[in-house]
Structure 1
Amino acid sequence: MKQSAGILMYQVEDGKLRVLLVHPGGPLFTKRDAGWWSIPKGEYTGDEVAVAAAVRELREETGAEVEASGLVELGSVRQKSGKVVTAWAAEADFDVTTLVSNLFELEWPPRSGVIREYPEVDRGEWFGPEAAREKINSAQAAFIDRLEALLAEREG
């Protein structure tokens, strides 16, 4: 079973929640939008601690840095592919214009023999919860729900 770990960065501005989502890079996702965005996340193996993988993946996919000690666990979800994603929330400010993602290689066009490099993430954007639920992989929408519940508990 494949496992991923990630971080749902959020901010509260004027009482309104905004969450950071990222869009996958590469030619396969150029025209894909709703349902294709994600929290910054990536796969890890059994020998790596999930929260350490989440911090690493956030840095690799966005350039953002957070301290593991300040993270709040949001639990896990299973995506349609079967992959289990575990997430943490981090209240943080991040300027999406500074996003820098690591690269991967892909033969493109297929069977052309041409290997090109593409960013794992081609952009990031801050969304309100409703817009985020439309953009994010459907299974990951649970992380937004859980974050809203946690924030409501803190206020209440």
Structure 2
Amino acid sequence: MKMGKLQQKPFSAALILATLWTGMASAETPAPADLAQEETFLDVLPKIDVPDDVQPIPGAVNEEFRNCEAQWPPQYREAQSGAEARALRDIYSFVRARNVIATADCGCAGKVANWDDVEAVAAALRESQKVERLSWQHTAAISTEARKLIAVAETMCGGSF
């Protein structure tokens, strides 16, 4: 009977499994202490109605956000690096998707949203989380919500966000 390499060296197999286990455990983030704080961003911006049965907008001309670079807010360009870069981009993704759904505009005017909304959400999160700088952990729920809204916007616009 032939044994596999890891079966021949049980210590090596245990070491590999321990390394993998440690890596998985450190990748987890603690659950938020207060779920209400986690969803503070939802109360900052006006609510939008997302239809249960999302349909493409008749005659919509979809423009991908990357093609609208000339219209990007300067603050978005600045948010490509820095301590809060990821968090601010998460918030902006949410704001942009929300804007497309609310305005039913699939062009650059719909996809390039007002940066003031990002600042309002960021300020509310900093206050509720009692931090000076936001990290991706603070905006994880926003990122998840943004992905849901982007899927709606892509369906409405008939193409990539």
* TM-score range for the pair, normalised by the shorter chain length: under 0.3
TM-score (norm 1): 0.26
Select the structure that is richer in helix.
2
TM-score (norm 2): 0.25
Larger radius of gyration between Structure 1 and Structure 2: 2
Select the structure that is richer in strand.
1
